[in-house]
A and B are shown apart, each in its own frame.
Chain A
Amino acid sequence: MASLATIKPRRAAKTLLVTSFTLILLLLFLSPFAFMVFTSLKTPEQISVIGAPIWPAAVATFEYNGKELDMYTVPMNKCEGSEDSNDTNGLALVKKGTRASTFVDPDDLARGEFVCQVSWRALDRPWQFSPTFSNYTEVWNSINFPRLLWNTFFYAVATTVGVLISCTLVAYGFSRFDFPGRDFLFVVLIATIFLPAFVTVIPTYTFFQRIDWVGTWLPLIVPTFFANAFDVFLLRQYFMTIPREMDEAAMIDGASRFRVLTSILLPQSYPVLLAVTVFHIVYAWNDFFGPLIYLSTNRAAWPVSVALNTFNGIYGQKPQLIQAGALMTLLLPLLLFIFAQRFFVQGIVITGVDK
């Protein structure tokens, strides 16, 4: 039987163990973010050098007689005048040579220039931390990033408005009106989640092409005004937690059904309305398939997701630009998530857990 005195330290040790294990797991899980940030701050020179450090760095240089000299790590016993030394020093390369090169020691300038019997190509180079921010400006300017951001923003806002209006009305209909066939229709609504996209995309795309909507935003925006299963479900579940007695009291006072929605239900539903809003903004911001099929012919209307996909082709050999573009693309959803995480979590829990 463990005494009280031993239980507490044991619990503390377990807490420490579980928490630090989770922390390590989380760091591994999120390590691609560090990769992205580090890579986006690198110079093309660093990318092309095998064995360069993983953090953004530049080869150390030293200014000598008005010239920028590259630094190398040199074993001092190869140099004239210090054959007995076991040190390796960082030296600045003055004159390149295949078998012997001339160096100067930045820490010992008094020694002047001296020759070492080394091939400069085989030497390691000392790196120093040196982030480069020009990758961001290059991506920003070369693919007209402000335009892409504006397109994406417009798409997100327009479709969020459509989702909020239509899904609120439909959820109100499903949660507050009793009529035969309602539950059947609701089952049909939920079942649309299982529908493979292509079975509807092929005729819909053909239809939109016939009416000349392909290449415009309309095929992406208009359907959002006709509600969707996920958001209707979310809103309906929330409306059903609000007591019906409040509606009835308002209706006795002469309020219309629409007035009940706007004055009784909506003011109490701001958490779920916010959840739907943030979900949909993030969904639209990240949407790739819709803009890919409907906008690929119209470059001027591209959102960031579609433009980013072309980076592989344009910047295949320039990972620093790909990562800078990825960072600029994910910044807004990330910030939105950080400020509204409570609503994300609640919304998901409502859809997945039957209460």
Chain B
Amino acid sequence: MFQELQRGLPKLPTIRSYRAMTPLKRREMREGLLYISPWLVGFLIFTLLPILASLVFSFMDLRITDGITSAPKFVGLANYEQMLKDPQIWSLQSGTRGSLWITLFFGMISLPVGLLLPLAIALLMNSRHLKGQMAFRSAFYMPFIIPFVAAVFLWGGMLNPETGWINRALMAMGVPRASVPNWANDINWVYPTYVIMGIWGIGNAMLIFLAGLQGVPTDLYDAAKVDGANGWQSFWKVTFPMISPVVFYNLVLGVVFLFQYFLVPLVVNQGTGRPGGATMFFNLYLYKTFFTFQNMSYGATMAWLLFVLILITTVFLFWSAKYWVYYAGEKRS
């Protein structure tokens, strides 16, 4: 999907090029635009206009409750000043760490798991020694379609400190009752808890990795074998370059997802930030600013910060792709 984005922005037509078109071509353009008009209109109303409105809001002082007739109050850069000084976003102190650092810190733990685990399972699925590959593939994907809240409750039950199976298994293996983890209620265990709950979301990435692996021509492995490569070398010299487009795809989606992570803390810890403020993710803080404290303009300012951060990160990733993502044949799709 992202290969479309990697060729850089295609040129926009100019008025001169439109004038030079034949009537037949113009008609095709009108008809084509008519067919894509549902998206064009939707993009304007539900995407472009709101983005710009957010930007305008961020220079104002607005509450959701403000009446439509109340005069707009422009406050210049006051929201940005407040945001840059907000300890709830930037604080580095361990007890009261800011929500942005919490998000980044959790991303650092979660992203490697979210990429390596589906890759490992896809490699296992791709093994010629595995019988029943199709059934396994469906079964490992399946939890992905479970309703999010239900999945969180299932794992919440599994990880219940008293009655959950995981602590029961730990105790059965000899861990004393006093030292089993308190999972979602323990400041040191709450991130691992979220990572474990996220394991059920690997299905998508796993299927895409597997499709990438199945697309690697087997004669490349044979050639590597003839050249005397061991398993490790043939993975890094053959498999990885060949599946680098799907690695890139999963990486970008994972990064964009983790920047916006907040539904799990909203459901598991009721959006309170408990234990000890450790789960006050950036988007959760943003959600509460807007929906709980009804502060539209500060919410919009934070949303724009997030927008810019994601933009910078994805642009960086797309730039880096030139150096490590390999598209076989580079054919236009």
* Interchain CB contact under 8 A, A169 and B145: no
Q: Nearest Cβ in chain A — how far from B139, in angstroms?
A: 6
* Interchain CB contact under 8 A, A345 and B207: yes
A203 at the A/B interface (Cβ < 8 Å)? yes
* Interchain CB contact under 8 A, B5 and A187: yes
A300 at the A/B interface (Cβ < 8 Å)? no
* Interchain CB contact under 8 A, A190 and B1: yes
Q: Say whether, besides A177-B31, A329-B147, A345-B207, A194 and B4 are in contact (CB < 8 Å).
A: no
Residues B33-80 near A (CB distance < 8 A): 33-43, 45-47, 49-51, 53-54, 57, 64, 68
* Interchain CB contact under 8 A, A172 and B153: no
Q: Which residue of B lies closest to A204 (CB)?
A: B50
A250 at the A/B interface (Cβ < 8 Å)? no
B86 at the A/B interface (Cβ < 8 Å)? no
Among A30, A173, A352, which residue has its beta carbon within 8 angstroms of that of B207?
Answer: A352
* Interchain CB contact under 8 A, A192 and B165: no
Looking at chain A's contact residues, the main secondary structure is helix
B199 at the A/B interface (Cβ < 8 Å)? yes
Among B2, B12, B250, which residue has its beta carbon within 8 angstroms of that of A181?
Answer: B12
Give bound CA distance, A169 to B39, whole Å.
9
A33 at the A/B interface (Cβ < 8 Å)? yes
* Interchain CB contact under 8 A, A305 and B38: no
Give bound CA distance, A11 to B43, whole Å.
56
Give bound CA distance, A348 to B50, whole Å.
29
* Interfacial chain A residues near B296, Cβ < 8 Å: 202, 206
* Interfacial chain A residues near B163, Cβ < 8 Å: 47, 319
B241 at the A/B interface (Cβ < 8 Å)? no
* Interfacial chain A residues near B141, Cβ < 8 Å: 341, 344-345
**Interface code B225-251, partner A: CB below 8 Å = 1, 0 otherwise?**
000000000000000000001100110
**Interface code A100-134, partner B: CB below 8 Å = 1, 0 otherwise?**
00000000000000000000000000000000000
Q: Nearest Cβ in chain A — how far from B258, in angstroms?
A: 11
* Interchain CB contact under 8 A, B153 and A192: no
Q: Say whether, besides A198-B290, A349-B211, A26 and B136 are in contact (CB < 8 Å).
A: yes
Among A36, A183, A184, A305, which residue has its beta carbon within 8 angstroms of that of B154?
Answer: A36
* Interchain CB contact under 8 A, A35 and B38: no
**Interface code B151-188, partner A: CB below 8 Å = 1, 0 otherwise?**
10111011010111100100000000000000000000
B84 at the A/B interface (Cβ < 8 Å)? no
Among A14, A226, A311, A312, which residue has its beta carbon within 8 angstroms of that of B270?
Answer: A312
Among B31, B145, B149, B260, which residue has its beta carbon within 8 angstroms of that of A334?
Answer: B145
B320 at the A/B interface (Cβ < 8 Å)? no
Q: Which residue of B lies closest to A234 (CB)?
A: B1
Q: Say whether, besides A177-B29, A185-B40, A312-B270, A198 and B311 are in contact (CB < 8 Å).
A: no
Among B9, B54, B252, which residue has its beta carbon within 8 angstroms of that of A184?
Answer: B9
* Interchain CB contact under 8 A, A190 and B146: no
Give bound CA distance, A287 to B102, whole Å.
25
A170 at the A/B interface (Cβ < 8 Å)? yes
Give bound CA distance, A322 to B160, whole Å.
13
Give bound CA distance, A305 to B256, whole Å.
24
Give bound CA distance, A226 to B48, whole Å.
13
Among B1, B131, B139, B267, which residue has its beta carbon within 8 angstroms of that of A15?
Answer: B131
We find that the number of chain A residues with CB closer than 8 angstroms to chain B is 104
B286 at the A/B interface (Cβ < 8 Å)? yes
A150 at the A/B interface (Cβ < 8 Å)? no
* Interchain CB contact under 8 A, B35 and A177: yes
B293 at the A/B interface (Cβ < 8 Å)? no
* Interfacial chain B residues near A25, Cβ < 8 Å: 121, 124
Among A18, A32, A309, A354, which residue has its beta carbon within 8 angstroms of that of B155?
Answer: A32
A-B contacts besides A166-B42, A202-B299, 9 pairs, CB < 8 Å: A183-B4, A200-B50, A203-B57, A203-B300, A206-B64, A226-B38, A226-B42, A286-B148, A309-B267
Q: List 15 A-B contacts (CB under 8 A).
A: A29-B139, A177-B31, A189-B39, A190-B4, A196-B306, A197-B260, A199-B50, A199-B300, A203-B50, A206-B64, A225-B42, A309-B149, A326-B154, A344-B141, A352-B246
Chain B residues in the interface with A (C-beta under 8 A): 1-5, 9-13, 17-18, 21, 25, 28-29, 31-43, 45-47, 49-51, 53-54, 57, 64, 68, 121, 124-125, 127, 129-132, 136-143, 145-151, 153-155, 157-158, 160, 162-165, 168, 199-200, 204, 207-208, 211-212, 215, 245-246, 249-250, 252-253, 256, 259-260, 263, 267, 270, 283, 286-287, 290-291, 296, 299-300, 302-304, 306-307, 310-311, 314, 327, 333
Chain A residues in the interface with B (C-beta under 8 A): 11, 14-15, 17-19, 21-22, 25-26, 29-33, 35-36, 39, 47, 50, 54, 166, 169-170, 172-174, 176-207, 209-210, 223, 225-227, 232-233, 237, 240, 257, 282, 285-286, 288-289, 293, 304-305, 308-309, 311-312, 319, 322-323, 325-327, 329-330, 333-334, 336-337, 341, 344-345, 348-349, 351-355
